[in-house]
Amino acid sequence: GAGVSQSPSNKVTEKGKDVELRCDPISGHTALYWYRQRLGQGLEFLIYFQGNSAPDKSGLPSDRFSAERTGESVSTLTIQRTQQEDSAVYLCAGVTTARYTFGSGTRLTVV
């Protein structure tokens, strides 16, 4: 497709459940970023993938968060044992020369 695709667009989950968020990047975007935006906050960096290099996981808030990406393909962000503070819009972006192309995000609500 022409843009970055994220699924699901909305997810409501019970506290303690695991969730998996998916990002389909644009072909050719070797770098992929995950950010999240909690209510009233800016975009918060989570993790960065660049080709086959080791990912930069410095933004992951806890060990309940993990992400995978194989090569330049789909990335998945997994949150285990979700907590209410995990509620946010999770955004994925493909990057070339500092120009981010964002997906529409996944709105996660933990109840």
Partner 1 sequence: DQQVKQNSPSLSVQEGRISILNCDYTNSMFDYFLWYKKYPAEGPTFLISISSIKDKNEDGRFTVFLNKSAKHLSLHIVPSQPGDSAVYFCAASGNSGGSNYKLTFGKGTLLTVNP
Q: Does 97 bind partner 1 (CB under 8 A)?
A: yes
C-alpha distances out from residue 4 to 81, 98, 108, Å: 27, 16, 18
Place of tokens 């080709």: 51
Nearer to partner 1, 15 or 45 (CB): 45
- Closer residue to partner 1 in complex, CB, 20/56: 56
Phi, psi of 6 (to 5 degrees): -125, 145
95 binds partner 1 (CB under 8 A): yes
Please pick, from the candidates 45, 61, 68, 78, the single residue that binds partner 1 as defined by CB under 8 A. 45
Answer yes or no whether residue 104 interacts with partner 1 by CB under 8 A: yes
56 DSSP 8-state letter: B
Cα–Cα distance measured from residue 29 to residue 39, given in angstroms and rounded to the nearest whole number = 29
Chain positions contacting partner 1, by CB under 8 A: 4, 31, 33, 35, 40-45, 48, 50, 56, 91, 93, 95, 97-105
